[in-house]
Structure 1
Amino acid sequence: MSPRRRRTWVLPAVLTLVVLIALTAALGAVVHRASTEENADPTGTGTVTGEPSTEPPTEDATPSQEPSEDAVFTIGAAGDVLPHDTPIRVARTDSGYDFTPMLEATRPWSAGVDLALCNMEVPLALPEEEPSGYPLFGAPGELPGNLADLGWDGCSTGTNHSLDRGPDNLAYTLDVFDDVGLGHAGSARSQDEADTPQLYRLDRAGQQITVAQIGGTYGTNGLPIPADAPWSVTLLDAESLISQARQARDAGADLVVATLHWGVEYQNSPNSEQTELAQALAESGQVDLVIGNHPHVPQPFALLDGGPDGSGMWVAYSLGNFISNQDDACCVPQTATGLFMTATVVKPADGPARVTGVEWTPTTVDREGGQRVYPLAELISGDQPSALTLSANELQSRADGVQSVMAESTGAEFDERVEAPEPTGPEPEVVPRS
């Protein structure tokens, strides 16, 4: 009990006597410990505050640290960044291109999660080339910088369009990603880079947690992967992905995220190739979370048996579109919508990092209203900008379509999230692969 709490009933003289006795006893203990080696602290963690020691301090003499509290953070992801000709034209400015206005309404989500991973569907046009959309895409070089400004930390870059403009554009795309500080996975400029997982380091609750991103694609639309650069695009293969995941853990990863370009376009359900590959990854125990893209429409989520320590592996089969010029005017109605996935990760002070839940937030594009992308629930609730051209009936129809797909999710409760998350700490460190 401290003197401050005892002062209402201890007389000053008594207090002084007690203090003197305590000091005398403490000093005697110090002298005795210093003169008798056998009485040294048996744990090696004690310290002496009397006379300075003439011996240099040893590591064993350092006081032990109290265990840190559990670290909790979020990983966010969205659908395909697929700039067709119309979004490119809308993004044109007097001095170049700017896609930021199209995505400004989604900034609270991409900047609110602790680690934001997008899917860069297309390569960049070289500086001397004219950007273009379908069928051979080449996005403006400003796009990666716009994504970084919006809070994105990295993207999957191994897709069926990676080689639309050849290996030079593939390499240039990764050069620009490096320049603006974005991570990338699924394509590479060398064998060493292909063998190196993309790592992100987060400092949370006194711990440093490392998240690895690996990725790949089902194919390249028939365009040949260069014979002298077979490593330039990673093709999906269960054994190869599992090996990458193991290498990532050997490199210090606490959590492994696989960003996979797979499935069939415009199908609302995963096909057998997706489910079989996902199950193989789950059974390996090496992958924590799978983020899928390519179908251009949302597909359900799942929690599969297996995963690290048998705790399960979380799968988002397809997050649909993010930037695109697709809706029911060209394609199926669901192409006008996408999902923002928010995964929560807990890393105990004395245990491994694990995904503990995954939520979804529908987004939609207003093609006629400046190609802008919005969180759908906000529009339905009445928070509608003046530039919006979508009717209330159309908004509700799009929301109902997403709801019907997500109702097919299996293995866990996957709730719709309507409030953007808040960062739980500083921005992640993006570790260069090259």
Structure 2
Amino acid sequence: MFLTGLAALAVVPTLPTAARDLDGVSLYPLVAGCFVAASLLGGVLGGHWADRVGPQRPLAAGMALAVVTLLVSGASTSIWQLAAGRFLDGLAGGMVAVSINTAIGQAYPDRLRPRALALMSACWIVPSLTGPPLAGLVAEWWSWRAVFFGLAALTVLPALMVVAVLCGPSWAATPAPSNHRPPRPALMVATAVSLGAALGQYGVSGWDIHHLLFAAGGSALLVAFASRLLPAGTWRAARGLPATVLLCGLGSGVFFTLEAYVPLLLVTDRGAPPLMIGLAFTGAAVAWAGSSWVQGRLLEHCPRHRLVVAGALVQAAAVLVAVTGTIPATPAYTAAPAMVIAAIGMGIYAPSLTVLSLTHSPPGRQGYASSAMQTAQNLGQTTVLGVSSALFNACLGAGSTDAVSYGAAFGLLLAPCILAALLAARARSA
């Protein structure tokens, strides 16, 4: 998880430079969206693979693929190769994340799962402090390719060790019992959902007929196929796992939309320096890990659905801070704390939902629950960010000022926060 976090946080600051050098700035939204779309596909495939043969093999495959994708991206000669590398990276990341959650569900008793999940969140602290600034220095002083190749060199030996250990005879597979084994999802379904997410990410990057057609095509694929990858009753928040999965999508969509638009507001409208953006990202990562530690250590006996309500309300407070930061009369950096506050909410919100999802999962079905949560997380990012982006571009197209457009995009996020708080009781465990 440490290596996954380091790679994820280090390469993101270099992507704009890479797109510029490869003459592909116009396709940058596709490069950014490929990772999210492929994470969805990787989570689905990794989860069902883990249920069939145990989490060891998909975890080993994800670690090996993580090295390959860094090499593919570093050697890019075109923007399309870079997009392919980011797609492979998302595929590997989705498989690793779901496999780790499945392993925690199988290896740890209920009382220790919150602590194990908090430890996974803590693995992102050092990467969040060191990854982006080091990558920026390397890209500025040397080359953006050196970032990818350096990460590959750093990852290859630990990845080989993990693969060797997990494939050894001492690790017995723990597949699902035959009477609980879920039907293997058609590859076409997972691929269609992943493609729909990618098309949606690209479509919302513009406000013309060309982009609208892509957005419409992506939305059609998601509507047609996404429900097949989620538990029955997810859209109506049926009690138990379906409601838990829906809540995961709502919270993730709010947080990552704030993470996308708050820096954009600070840079384009408030004139904030890059250092402020870096501090906001670092503060958010530390805040997420800190609040995750609190929920795992100090609040471990509190009912999980109540922690979900608390996390959703904290996110709502972050949205209000972001809206306040769009007002021209406020100080330039007013919106920056919104990322940190939202991260505090997610540090309470996300692990609590993961614990609830594992609690609602029958024996041998933790992989299915983990993949459903991963799918909901990625769909939430795509949907909430897409709707907010569409509203933002519509306001700009109607002649509104930047402040009004940002305020509308942020204000929309209050709806999923309030909805999550109201629906949290439907995810409570028996």
TM superposition score normalised by structure 1: 0.24
Larger-gyration structure (1/2): 1
TM superposition score normalised by structure 2: 0.24
| Larger RCO (CA under 8 A, 6+ residues apart) | 2
Q: Which has the higher strand share?
A: 1
Q: Which has the higher helix share?
A: 2
